[in-house]
C-alpha cells in the first residue's frame, strides 16, 4: 500500500496532491539525532495524529512542517510547495528564500501548546495580525475574517478583550481562530490541550473535532489517545525518531510493534 | 521674603526661557534617547559581535561616569576640538557647535540611550520566546516580529521603569546651567547675582520643578494605564494595588 509515487504513471494518478508530503526527513541537534528518515503523507481533508513518548521527536517533526525547525535532510511539500534540505538534491537549502519560507508558513499554520497569543494585542488584533502583516491585507478586511473565525470557535464576544483576561481554554480557541484566519491548507496542532486543566480540555477538543468534521486537513501531536483514535484518519507512532507504526487508528492500536503496543496499552 | 523681582520683565523672560529650554531638552533627549536605547538594546542582543561589544562599551562608560563630567567633556573637550575644524567655520555648523543646547541634548541623549537601553535589553530578554516564535510561525519577517510583537511587549514590561527614568532625566536638567545654557537654575543664578537674593529664586524654581514632576508623573501614569494589554486598575483611590502587567504563563 505504500507504493512510491514514482511507481504510478502520472496519467493514472487521479489522487490530488497530498496536503503534506514529508520524505526522508532527518534532523540532528549537534550529536543527537532527533528524526531519522521520517516519511509520511497527509491527504487533503484528513486528520493525521502523531503519537509517541516524550522525546520521541514528534514535536520536532511537527515544527519541521512550517520550518520552525529546519530539517537537515529530506524533502517536504506543503500544498505543492516543495523544498529539499541538505545533500539530497544539491544545495537546495540556499534556494529557500524568505518568500518561499513565508508561503510555506502561511499555508501550514500552528496552534501551540502554550497558546503563544500576543498579550499586547486584543483577541481581534491577535487573529487579524498575521493576515495584515504577511498577506498585506487591509486591517478592516482582516478584522472581518478574524471575526468570522472567532465566531467559529465561539469567541466573537470577547473580540475586544486582551488575552490575559481569558481562561486557558478560551486562549487556545483564539489561537485556533488565529491559525484559521490565514486560511491555510493544513492546520498544525502541537499538543493543543497539554497546558489545560481537564475541564478546559474538552472545550478545545470540541472545537478541533468540529474542524475535523468540516473536512479540514490537520496534523496533530497529542497525548489524548482516545481523542486521537476518534478523530484521526491516520495515526503515526513515532519512536526515537523513527515511525514505529502507521495506518488507520485501528491498525496502529492493533500493531505488532512491541513498543507501540506498550505505549498504547493504557489507553486501549 | 522678597519676591518683588518677579515684577521685573527681564527676570520673567529669563524664567520663561529657562522653562522652555528645560522642556525642549527633556523632549529632544527623551525621544532621541529612546530611539538610541532601542538600537543599543537590539544590537546587544542580536547584533554582530563587534557591534554588540561597542554598544556594551558605550553603555558601560556612560553609566560609569557622572553626567556632569560627560557634559563638560562634550562641551569643553569635544566642542573645542570640533571648533578648530575648517568645516565648523561655516554658518549652520558654526552656530550649532557653539550652542550649549546642542551639547546638552547630545549628552542627555547618550545618557538616556545607555540607561534605558539596559532596561529595554532586560525587558526584551524577558518576553517569552513563544510569542516571537508564534510570529515567525505565521510567516512574519524578523523585522516585523521585532517592530510589531517583540518591542511593544518589551516596552509594556518595562514601562514603569522607563517613566521613572524620564522623571530622573527632568531633574538632571539643572546640570546644564554649568555650561551656560539658560535653564531654570541659570535664570535663578542670574537673578541671585543681580538682586543679592539667594533663597527666593531657588524656592521658585524648586516649586516649578515640583510642579513639572507632578504633571509629568500624571501624564506618564495615563500612558501606563492606557498602554495596550495593561490591566485597567479599577479599584478606588484608598485601596492599595499591585502594579499589574498582563502576562501569559
At B86, the pLDDT band (50, 70, 90 cuts) reads: confident
Q: Which residues of B touch A129 (CB under 8 A)?
A: 138, 148
A34-51 tens-digit pLDDT = 999 999 999 999 999 999
A108, β-bridge pairs: A186
Question: How far is the alpha carbon of B50 from chain A, nearest alpha carbon, in Å?
Answer: 26
Across the interface, which of B128, B140, B247 has its CB nearest the CB of A133? B140
Q: Is residue A157 a part of any domain in this protein?
A: no
Domain membership flag for residue A192: yes
> How many other CB atoms are there within 10 angstroms of residue A144's CB atom?
12
Cβ atoms within 10 Å of A136's Cβ, excluding its own: 8
* Contact across the interface for A118 and B231, Cβ inside 8 Å: no
Q: Do B133 and A112 touch (CB under 8 A)?
A: yes
Spatial contact of B119 and B157, defined as CB atoms under 8 Å apart: no
Residue A18's pLDDT is what? 87
Nearest CA in chain B to A130: B138
Distance of alpha carbon A226 from alpha carbon A193, whole angstroms: 13
Fold of B4-228: MetI-like fold (1.10.3720)
Grid cell, residue A28, equals 540532528
Is A136 part of any domain?
A: no
Kindly tell me if the per-residue pLDDT of B246 is higher than 80. no
Q: Which residue has the higher pLDDT, A72 or A264?
A: A72
Query: B153 and A120 in contact by Cβ < 8 A?
Result: yes
State how far the Cα of A56 lies from the Cα of A70, in Å rounded to an integer: 17
Q: Is residue A9 part of a domain?
A: no
ipTM of this complex: 0.86
Instruction: Flag whether A146 is in a domain.
Output: no
Alpha-carbon gap: B167 to the closest alpha carbon of chain A (Å): 25
Interface test with B, best of A103, A119, A169, A174 (most B CBs within 10 A): A119
Q: Which domain holds residue A102?
A: 20-85+92-114+185-264
- The lowest-confidence range among A3-12, A221-230, B27-36, B166-175 is A3-12
The CA distance from A9 to the nearest CA of chain B, in Å, is 36
- Cβ–Cβ pairs < 8 A, chains A and B: 90
CA A30, CA A205: separation in Å to the nearest integer?
A: 36
β-strand A81-85 against A242-247: which pairing, if any? Answer: unpaired
Dmax over Cα atoms in chain B, in whole Å? 70
B168, HSE (Cβ side, Cα atoms, 13 Å): 12
Residue ranges of chain B whose CB lies within 8 Å of a chain A CB? 128, 130-131, 133-141, 144, 148-149, 152-153, 156, 227-229, 231, 246-249
pTM for this entry: 0.86
- H or E element in which residue B35 lies: helix B9-46
**Closest-CA residue of chain B to A98:** B141
SS3 A247: strand
- Minimum mean pLDDT among B47-56, B204-213, B234-243: which range? B234-243
At A95 the pLDDT is: 56
Region A233-249: mean pLDDT is 91
Is B228 within 8 Å of A120 when comparing Cβ atoms?
Answer: yes
**pLDDT at res. A199:** 85
Domain segments of chain B: what residues? 4-228
The CATH number linked to A106 is 3.40.50.300
**Cβ separation B130–A110 shorter than 8 A:** no
pLDDT at A2 over 60: no
Tens of pLDDT, residue by residue over A97-147, are: 788 888 889 999 999 999 999 999 999 999 999 999 999 999 999 999 999
> How many domains is chain A partitioned into structurally?
1
Q: Please give the residue of chain B at the shortest CA–CA distance from A69.
A: B137
Please give the Cα distance from B6 to A251 (Å, whole number): 95
- Grid coordinates given for A127: 487573529
B-chain residue closest to A179, CA distance: B138
- A13 burial (CB, 10 Å; 0-12 / 13-18 / 19+) is exposed
- Is pLDDT at B177 greater than 60 in this prediction? yes
Q: Do B137 and A102 touch (CB under 8 A)?
A: no
Distance CA B137, CA B142 (A): 11
Amino acid at each position: 500500500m505504500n507504493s512510491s509515487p514514482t511507481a504510478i504513471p502520472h496519467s493514472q494518478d487521479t489522487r490530488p496532491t497530498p496536503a503534506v508530503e514529508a520524505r526522508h526527513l532527518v534532523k540532528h541537534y549537534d550529536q543527537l539525532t532527533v528524526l531519522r528518515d521520517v516519511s509520511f503523507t497527509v491527504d487533503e481533508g484528513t486528520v493525521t495524529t502523531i503519537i509517541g513518548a516524550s522525546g520521541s521527536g514528534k514535536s520536532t517533526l511537527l515544527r519541521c512542517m512550517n520550518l520552525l525547525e529546519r530539517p537537515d535532510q529530506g524533502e517536504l511539500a506543503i500544498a505543492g510547495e516543495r523544498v529539499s534540505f541538505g545533500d539530497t538534491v544539491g544545495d537546495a537549502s540556499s534556494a529557500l528564500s524568505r518568500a518561499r519560507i513565508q508561503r510555506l508558513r502561511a499555508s501550514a499554520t500552528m496552534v501551540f501548546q502554550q497558546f503563544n497569543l500576543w498579550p499586547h494585542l486584543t483577541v481581534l488584533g491577535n487573529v487579524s495580525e498575521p493576515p495584515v502583516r504577511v498577506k498585506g491585507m487591509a486591517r478592516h478586511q482582516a478584522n472581518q475574517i478574524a471575526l468570522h473565525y472567532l465566531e467559529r470557535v465561539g469567541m466573537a464576544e470577547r473580540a475586544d478583550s486582551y488575552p490575559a483576561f481569558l481562561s486557558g481554554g478560551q486562549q487556545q480557541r483564539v489561537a485556533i481562530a488565529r491559525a484559521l484566519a490565514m486560511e491555510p491548507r493544513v492546520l498544525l496542532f502541537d499538543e493543543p490541550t497539554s497546558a489545560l486543566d481537564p475541564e478546559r480540555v474538552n472545550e478545545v477538543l470540541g472545537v478541533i473535532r468540529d474542524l475535523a468534521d468540516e473536512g479540514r486537513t490537520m496534523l496533530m501531536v497529542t497525548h489524548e489517545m482516545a481523542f486521537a483514535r476518534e478523530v484521526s484518519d491516520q495515526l503515526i507512532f513515532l519512536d526515537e525518531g523513527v515511525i514505529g507504526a502507521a495506518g488507520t487508528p485501528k491498525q496502529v492500536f492493533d500493531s505488532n510493534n512491541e513498543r507501540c503496543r506498550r505505549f498504547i496499552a493504557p489507553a486501549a | 521674603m522678597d519676591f518683588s523681582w518677579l515684577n521685573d520683565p527681564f527676570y520673567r523672560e529669563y524664567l520663561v526661557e529657562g522653562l522652555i529650554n528645560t522642556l525642549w531638552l527633556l523632549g529632544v533627549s527623551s525621544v532621541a534617547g529612546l530611539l538610541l536605547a532601542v538600537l543599543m538594546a537590539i544590537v546587544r542582543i542580536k547584533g554582530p559581535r563587534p557591534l554588540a561589544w561597542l554598544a556594551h562599551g558605550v553603555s558601560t562608560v556612560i553609566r560609569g561616569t557622572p553626567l556632569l563630567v560627560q557634559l563638560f567633556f562634550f562641551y569643553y573637550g569635544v566642542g573645542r576640538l570640533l571648533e578648530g575644524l575648517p568645516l565648523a567655520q561655516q554658518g549652520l555648523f558654526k552656530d550649532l557647535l557653539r550652542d550649549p543646547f546642542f551639547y546638552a541634548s547630545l549628552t542627555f541623549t547618550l545618557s538616556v540611550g545607555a540607561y534605558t537601553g539596559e532596561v529595554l535589553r532586560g525587558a526584551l530578554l524577558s518576553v517569552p520566546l513563544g510569542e516571537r516564535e508564534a510570529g515567525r510561525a505565521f510567516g512574519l519577517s524578523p523585522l516585523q516580529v521585532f517592530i510589531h510583537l517583540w518591542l511593544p511587549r518589551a516596552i509594556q514590561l518595562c514601562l514603569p521603569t522607563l517613566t521613572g527614568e524620564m522623571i530622573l532625566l527632568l531633574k538632571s536638567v539643572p546640570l546644564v546651567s554649568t555650561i551656560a545654557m539658560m535653564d531654570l537654575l541659570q535664570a535663578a543664578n542670574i537673578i541671585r547675582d543681580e538682586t543679592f537674593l539667594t533663597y527666593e529664586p531657588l524656592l521658585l524654581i524648586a516649586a516649578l520643578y515640583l510642579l513639572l514632576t507632578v504633571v509629568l508623573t500624571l501624564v506618564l501614569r495615563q500612558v501606563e494605564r492606557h498602554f495596550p494589554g495593561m490591566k485597567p486598575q479599577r479599584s478606588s483611590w484608598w485601596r492599595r494595588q499591585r502594579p499589574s502587567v498582563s502576562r501569559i504563563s
